[in-house]
């Protein structure tokens, strides 16, 4: 039977009375509800018996004419048998079909063993008029326990393309409780039409829901009220079919997925699926029905077609948020061309109100770029096609926002049109507003940044547009169109005073600092777009400190200022599905990452996204964020507009969803599933086929002549079915004993808790025979409490007094730093004598937390600093073994602190221990070797900062071998540059300007020294390949230290005044004490040559000119004095035949001048004599050393001769 509109006449035309009579007798038997339902009584509000039928409006009749209803029915079981034969395994999806005849409701029993349960049906698009429809599902509860259900989602899939390009409809459990709550009688129209707000509605208190009886019997009005007519928030669109194939008849598939909690309920119940309806306006049809409820997941929603004429269908093209998150400007296509509409985001009403609208162009072929200032006081529209329609809309100063919705275009007077700055008015540029992080001055300091792909231009906008600064980022000026399109996400990469520009065509990524005068760019090479493992997604944190780049399977997080890699996270394996990463975003500042994925499987088995903790690089949650965009802003977050939102954009709507409403079996909600049984005295121990046994064994270690017996704790887990066993061996710390031990299971994982005196250890492994145990928890403790793990991944501690505390083992954060560090110290003690499996597990545990700062106010509160500071002679052997194994681990990665100083530098701390004992030198060499190795592997000189800082203190240590320091300095040479491709595009050759150079290309230069610039290198397109490029740090020449502040306040004040008057920085550069052999280093030679060409030559020239002037002045004075003395003085012979100068003053000048002249003439000879004397002294010292070595060798040979004579076998 063909479907027909509900409420339409079954006969031909009739009179008015016949029509009323037919309407009173025209019933559709609703088998799911068990009694006949009058269609018009169900669909329209009750009318008085005397009210004329003219009260039923024509638009309602048109709405009922387009209404369709189908009933659910179980598909023939032969379908499942065919599927099973094709795939070789039972079908994981329950198949339903839609029929026109009334049916018993289909019962869906919730299964908690599979976690995800799928139901699928096909929706035929045949004979349905073209248009958009609401989808209403008749659903009821069958003793459904919502504590066992995490969410229910609906995917609408195109049957032809077999893909879903829209986000699914996901209803979390808290919203399900509100939707299934039985409505009270006497609902008014406003209450019925209200939607369920996921964020603001409190959860229903009843977890068990009253069932609705099926069949024809037992039906009454209370049963009818318990039926839920659920309208999904997303509309479906029916378009004309392009062919008559079978696939077009099944143009849509609806996939219903029930996500459940395992082991929460022994009888979770189920649901009943009654019918499926399509409505052009279901709110109008069911406005008086309390069982009709609409799912509204949005925190705020914008509908550009709200209030518009039915024939004027608008479409969203792009949008831009204001900095404070209170406004959004939307560029739309309408029947009149392109319009710009400004909305105020309002979380208190369903649809956000329209503030202003403008008609930009009657043509849809012009590309516009829009941006909104911090408080929406200015809106900039840039014409990228003709450059003739660019303008700025400026809000009048006296404007005050009215929260009431404003008709389209009625408030244009509140904004005035002004001209842009002449420098960008007729240029093809994109722009955005940028605000500082200082909220008090944010409006005054806000600037507008324009970018054409090669030049960044900044304008002051407060009080009028003024050119503020211009910065070149390279690129060819004649190809600006391609350059602008090469950076599509540059607006999202402008934060924290930094602009990050990935260039996957040339193969590098660069950070440009807006406010720095010198060193305003850092860069790093990345794989090009043509490579197999190039980056496909990027994101910059809210304050511009971190930058994340993702390949198809890996996410790398870098420091945007220095391009030091903080860590990496790899996509977990998802069985046979080919899952890839499609996007990555920072959440809540830069504490966590949102990683979106996609898979090649059908939507019923789609992959979820992940939330990753940055400090530990571990997965902390799963989220369903397909086809949703993370809501991120480049400026400050306000209280009412959280940045942790997901944006859903359709053709005419734009809405924000709380990311917590899209979490799937959230780790944070696992703790809420705990019951009294979890914290009872009888620890929850699920039935298992494994046996657990612990014993203390004695094992001997060491060489045969010095063997030492150590007590070990051996924990054995044996499977009684397979006979396989796993053994864990740990050494027992000093003064420690085994207090307790237990095992538990949770969602496919097995937990092992070992409690020692002063130490609690928790291992986790998959519930498989050959799985590897992973240490996930280790803290120091001072009491003998009872520790257990329940099936909800919660660690429960019960003290002697019965007090209970709980901690989630799924949370990687450290809540008690002191207990954590105490546990690390205990792990160092047991590491030396543990088995290899335990050692690897301990190493992985420490690696996860190595770069985690335990105290935000103290950057020295890290694991490595703590271990080095706690070094003693007694703990030296254990610490040496542990640090050697830790730093040699392939996956270990320690990142030096950004503000490294002797207090948080492990090497400086260990060098300080050398004053009392030289045993710490072994650990010093290990840490230095790691820093040098990691710097070469990553081509990152930041790893050398701990070595540079500790060099000055090491040079002062007399007991340190000078050969070690020489080897360290030599190892700094030939560090490969990490920004090779960037330098090849942005370099200049350092040259001395007093020499005349013929211009040569880079490969023609001999040992050139390069420096980066922002304008771009000349002649790059004809440059030949330069194979080697190395980098050196000026920290090799000097160390930067702060001038000590006197303890006396008066002296400190005087020092501050002198520094201010003399314009002297408090930081001073102290040259390193380098030997002559240390200077035989290509890196040092390059640094000295560069400083000579850039600075040294200038100082040398000034000094030479000054000395020349002084020498000339003295020579002139001497000659003048001699001449004046010869003219003005007369001499006479004395009786002693001696000279006598009559003018005493001229005589003194003459003597002084002669003396200075002789000294200047003898100075080179004196320098040569001094140099020769130093050489002779060095030669004498060398000869003495050689003589001592010869004496020692002679004595050693005599000792060996005596030993041979003593140990030789004696003859008879």
What CATH number is given to the structural domain containing 549?
A: 2.130.10.10
User: Which neighbouring-strand residues pair with 433?
Assistant: 448
* Interacting residues of 447 by C-beta distance below 8 A, sequence separation 6+: 433, 434, 458, 459, 460, 461, 468
d(CA 1128, CA 1123): 9
Q: Can you give the pLDDT at residue 46?
A: 36
Sign of the Cα torsion 682, 688, 689, 695 reads negative
Is 466 in a helix, a strand, or coil? strand
Q: Could you tell me the pTM of the whole model?
A: 0.80
CB-CB contact of 671 with 809 (8 Å): no
Residue stretches of the chain with pLDDT short of 50: 1-56, 78-81, 83-91, 184-225, 244-249, 401-413, 634-642, 1019-1023, 1129-1146, 1211-1212
Answer yes or no: is 6 within a domain. no
Is 851 in a helix, a strand, or coil? coil
Q: Give the pair of three-digit tokens for residue 261.
A: 């909690």
Reduced DSSP (H G I as helix, E B as strand, rest coil) percent helix, strand, coil of the chain, to 5? 30, 30, 40
Answer yes or no: is 292 within a domain. yes
Do 693 and 717 have their domain in common? Answer: yes
Q: Which helix (H) or strand (E) holds 928?
A: helix 921-938
CB-CB contact of 974 with 1084 (8 Å): no
CB-CB contact of 868 with 910 (8 Å): yes
Do 736 and 651 have their domain in common? Answer: no
| Burial classification of residue 814, based on how many CB atoms lie within 10 Å of its CB (0-12 exposed, 13-18 middle, 19 or more buried) | middle
CB-CB contact of 603 with 159 (8 Å): no
Do 271 and 340 have their domain in common? Answer: no
d(CA 577, CA 600): 7
Do 258 and 179 have their domain in common? Answer: yes
* Interacting residues of 322 by C-beta distance below 8 A, sequence separation 6+: 328, 329, 372, 373, 374, 375, 376
d(CA 764, CA 533): 33
CB-CB contact of 641 with 600 (8 Å): no
Do 86 and 212 have their domain in common? Answer: yes
- Determine phi and psi for 749, rounding to 5 degrees: -120, 150
User: Which neighbouring-strand residues pair with 987?
Assistant: 1012
Answer yes or no: is 2 within a domain. no
d(CA 275, CA 288): 19
Last residue of a domain, one of 977, 993, 1013: 977
Rg (CA), the chain: 41
User: Which neighbouring-strand residues pair with 378?
Assistant: 394
Contacts of 405-411 with CB under 8 Å at 24 or more apart are: 405/307, 405/351, 405/353, 405/354, 406/353, 406/354, 406/355, 406/356, 407/307, 407/354, 408/307, 408/308, 408/341, 408/354, 408/357, 409/356, 409/357, 409/358, 411/355, 411/356
CB-CB contact of 684 with 673 (8 Å): no
d(CA 562, CA 943): 11
User: Which neighbouring-strand residues pair with 1040?
Assistant: 1069
Do 94 and 204 have their domain in common? Answer: yes
CB-CB contact of 1072 with 1033 (8 Å): no
**316-330: b (≥16 Cβ within 10 Å) or e:** beebbbbbbbbbbbb
Alpha-carbon distances, residue 940 vs 559, 576, 862, 1010 (angstroms): 12, 38, 21, 18
Answer yes or no: is 116 within a domain. yes
Q: Determine the structural domain holding residue 944 and report its residue range.
A: 850-977
Do 275 and 168 have their domain in common? Answer: yes
Of 550, 362, 373, residue with least CA distance to 459: 373
> pLDDT for 799-834, tens place per residue?
888 888 888 888 888 989 999 999 999 999 999 888
d(CA 980, CA 183): 68
**Half-sphere exposure in the Cβ direction for 188 (13 Å, CA):** 1
Do 539 and 664 have their domain in common? Answer: yes
* Interacting residues of 281 by C-beta distance below 8 A, sequence separation 6+: 63, 134
User: Which neighbouring-strand residues pair with 716?
Assistant: 693, 727
Q: Can you give the pLDDT at residue 129?
A: 79
DSSP string covering 151-220: EEEEEEEETTTTB--S--EEEEHHHHHHHHSPPPS---HHHHHPPEETTTSPPPS--B------SSSS--
Q: Which helix (H) or strand (E) holds 568?
A: strand 565-570
Last residue of a domain, one of 274, 296, 318: 296
* Interacting residues of 403 by C-beta distance below 8 A, sequence separation 6+: 344, 346, 353
Number of domains in the chain: 7
Q: Give the pair of three-digit tokens for residue 262.
A: 């395992």
d(CA 431, CA 405): 29
Do 306 and 277 have their domain in common? Answer: no
* Interacting residues of 792 by C-beta distance below 8 A, sequence separation 6+: 670, 671, 673, 674, 678, 746
Last residue of a domain, one of 399, 419, 439: 419
d(CA 944, CA 972): 9
Q: Can you give the pLDDT at residue 1192?
A: 80
Do 649 and 713 have their domain in common? Answer: no
d(CA 889, CA 891): 5
CB-CB contact of 985 with 528 (8 Å): no
Of 29, 3, 67, 36, residue with least CA distance to 286: 67
Do 193 and 95 have their domain in common? Answer: yes
Q: Give the pair of three-digit tokens for residue 269.
A: 């119940």
Do 291 and 312 have their domain in common? Answer: no
Q: Give the pair of three-digit tokens for residue 632.
A: 């991120």
* Interacting residues of 1117 by C-beta distance below 8 A, sequence separation 6+: 1149, 1153
* Interacting residues of 1014 by C-beta distance below 8 A, sequence separation 6+: 471, 472, 473, 474, 512, 520, 521, 986
């Amino acid at each position: 039977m063909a479907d027909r509109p509900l409420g339409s006449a079954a006969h031909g035309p009739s009179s008015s009375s016949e029509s009323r009579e037919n309407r009173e007798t025209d019933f559709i038997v609703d088998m799911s509800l068990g009694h006949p339902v009058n269609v018009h009584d169900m669909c329209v509000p009750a009318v008085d018996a005397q009210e004329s039928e003219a009260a039923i409006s024509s638009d309602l009749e048109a709405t009922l004419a387009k209404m369709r209803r189908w009933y659910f029915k179980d598909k023939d079981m032969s379908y499942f048998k065919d599927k099973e034969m094709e795939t070789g395994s039972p079908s994981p999806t329950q198949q339903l079909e839609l029929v026109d005849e009334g049916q018993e409701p289909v019962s869906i029993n919730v299964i908690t063993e599979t976690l995800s349960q799928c139901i699928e049906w096909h929706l035929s698009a045949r004979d349905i008029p073209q248009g958009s429809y609401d989808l209403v599902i008749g659903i009821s509860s069958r003793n459904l326990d919502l504590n066992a259900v995490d969410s229910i989602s609906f995917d609408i899939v195109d049957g032809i393309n077999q893909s879903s390009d829209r986000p699914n409809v996901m209803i979390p459990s808290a919203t399900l409780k509100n939707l299934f709550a039985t409505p009270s009688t006497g609902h008014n129209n406003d209450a019925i039409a209200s939607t369920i707000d996921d964020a603001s509605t409190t959860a229903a208190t009843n977890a068990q829901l009253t069932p609705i009886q099926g069949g024809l019997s037992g039906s009454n009005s209370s049963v009818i009220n318990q039926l839920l007519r659920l309208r999904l928030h997303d509309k479906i669109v029916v378009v004309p079919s392009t062919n008559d194939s079978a696939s077009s008849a099944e143009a849509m598939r609806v996939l219903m997925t029930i996500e459940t909690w395992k082991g929460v309920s022994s009888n979770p119940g189920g649901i009943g699926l009654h019918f499926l309806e399509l409505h052009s306006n279901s709110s109008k049809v069911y406005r008086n029905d309390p069982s009709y409820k609409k799912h509204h997941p949005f925190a705020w929603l914008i509908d550009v077609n709200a209030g518009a004429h039915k024939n004027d269908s608008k479409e969203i093209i792009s949008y831009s948020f204001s900095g404070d998150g209170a406004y959004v400007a939307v560029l739309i296509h309408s029947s009149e061309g392109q319009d710009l509409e400004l909305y105020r985001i309002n979380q208190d009403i369903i649809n956000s109100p329209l503030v202003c609208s403008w008609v930009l162009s009657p043509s849809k072929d012009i590309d516009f770029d829009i941006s909104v200032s911090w408080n929406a006081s200015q809106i900039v529209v840039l014409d990228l096609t003709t450059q003739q329609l660019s303008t700025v809309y400026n809000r009048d100063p006296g404007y005050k926002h009215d929260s009431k919705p404003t008709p389209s275009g009625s408030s244009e007077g509140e904004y005035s049109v002004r001209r842009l700055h002449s420098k960008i008015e007729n240029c093809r540029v994109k722009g955005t507003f940028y605000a500082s992080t200082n909220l008090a001055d944010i409006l005054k300091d806000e600037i507008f940044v324009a970018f054409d792909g090669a030049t960044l231009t900044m304008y002051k906008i407060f009080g009028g547009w003024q050119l503020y600064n211009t910065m070149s980022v390279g690129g060819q000026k004649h190809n600006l169109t391609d350059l602008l399109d090469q950076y599509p996400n540059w607006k999202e990469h402008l934060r924290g005073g930094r602009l990050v520009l990935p260039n996957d065509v040339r193969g590098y990524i660069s950070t440009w600092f807006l406010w720095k005068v010198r060193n305003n760019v850092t860069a790093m090479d990345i794989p090009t777009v043509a490579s197999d493992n190039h980056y496909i997604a990027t994101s910059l944190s809210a304050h511009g400190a971190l930058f994340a780049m993702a390949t198809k399977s890996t996410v790398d997080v870098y420091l945007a200022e220095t391009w030091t890699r903080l860590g990496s996270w790899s996509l977990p394996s998802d069985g046979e599905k080919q899952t890839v990463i499609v996007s990555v975003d920072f959440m809540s500042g830069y504490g966590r990452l949102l990683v979106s994925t996609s898979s090649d499987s059908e939507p019923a088995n789609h992959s979820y996204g992940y939330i990753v903790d940055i400090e530990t690089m571990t997965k902390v949650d799963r989220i369903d964020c397909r086809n949703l965009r993370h809501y991120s802003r480049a400026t400050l977050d306000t209280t009412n507009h959280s940045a942790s939102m997901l944006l859903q954009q359709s053709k005419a709507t734009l809405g924000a969803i709380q990311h917590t409403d899209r979490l799937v079996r959230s780790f944070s909600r696992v703790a809420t599933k705990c019951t009294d049984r979890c914290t009872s005295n009888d620890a929850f121990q699920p039935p298992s086929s494994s046996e657990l046994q612990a014993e203390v064994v004695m094992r001997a270690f060491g060489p045969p002549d010095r063997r030492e017996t150590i007590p070990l704790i051996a924990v054995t887990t044996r499977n009684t079915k397979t006979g396989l066993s796993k053994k864990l061996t740990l050494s027992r710390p000093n003064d420690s004993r085994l207090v307790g031990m237990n095992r538990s299971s949770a969602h496919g994982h097995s937990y092992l808790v070992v409690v020692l005196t002063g130490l609690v250890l928790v291992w986790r492994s998959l519930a498989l025979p050959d799985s590897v145990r992973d240490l996930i928890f280790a803290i120091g403790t001072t009491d003998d409490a009872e520790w257990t793990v329940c099936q909800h991944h919660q660690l429960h501690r019960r003290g002697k007094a019965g007090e209970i505390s709980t901690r989630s083992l799924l949370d990687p954060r450290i809540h008690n730093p002191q207990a954590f560090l105490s546990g690390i110290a205990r792990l160092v003690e047991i590491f030396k004598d543990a088995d290899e499996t335990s050692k690897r597990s301990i190493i992985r545990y420490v690696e996860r937390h190595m770069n985690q700062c335990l105290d935000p106010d103290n950057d020295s509160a890290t694991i490595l600093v703590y271990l080095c500071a706690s070094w003693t002679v007694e703990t030296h052997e254990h610490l040496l073994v542990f640090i050697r194994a830790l730093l040699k681990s392939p996956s270990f990665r320690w990142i030096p602190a950004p503000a490294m100083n002797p207090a948080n530098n492990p090497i400086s701390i260990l060098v300080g221990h050398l004053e009392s004992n030289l045993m710490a030198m072994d650990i010093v060499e290990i840490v230095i070797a790691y820093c040098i190795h990691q710097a070469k592997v990553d081509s990152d000189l930041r790893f050398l900062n701990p070595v540079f800082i500790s060099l000055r203190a090491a040079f002062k240590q007399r007991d340190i071998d000078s050969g070690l320091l020489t080897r360290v300095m030599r190892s700094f040479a030939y560090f490969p540059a990490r920004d090779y491709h960037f330098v090849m595009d942005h370099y200049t050759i350092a040259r001395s300007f007093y020499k005349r150079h013929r211009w040569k290309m880079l490969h023609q230069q001999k040992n050139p020294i390069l420096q980066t610039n922002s304008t771009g290198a000349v002649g790059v397109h004809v440059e030949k390949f330069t194979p080697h490029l190395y980098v050196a740090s000026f920290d090799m020449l000097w160390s930067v230290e702060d001038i000590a502040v006197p303890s006396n306040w008066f002296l400190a004040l005087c020092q501050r005044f002198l520094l201010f008057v003399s314009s002297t920085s408090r930081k001073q550069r102290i040259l390193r004490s380098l030997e002559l052999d240390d200077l035989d280093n290509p890196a040092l030679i390059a640094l000295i040559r560069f400083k000579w060409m850039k600075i040294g030559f200038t100082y040398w020239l000034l000094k030479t000119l000054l000395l020349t002037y002084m020498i000339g002045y003295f020579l002139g004075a001497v000659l003048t004095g001699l001449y004046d003395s010869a003219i003005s003085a007369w001499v006479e012979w004395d009786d002693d035949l001696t000279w006598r100068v009559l003018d005493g003053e001229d005589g003194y000048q003459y003597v002084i001048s002669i003396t200075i002249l002789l000294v200047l003439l003898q100075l080179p000879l004196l320098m040569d004599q001094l140099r020769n004397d130093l050489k002779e002294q060095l030669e004498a010292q060398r000869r003495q050393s050689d003589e001592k070595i010869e004496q020692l060798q002679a004595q050693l040979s005599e000792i060996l001769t005596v030993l041979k004579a003593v140990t030789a076998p004696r003859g008879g």
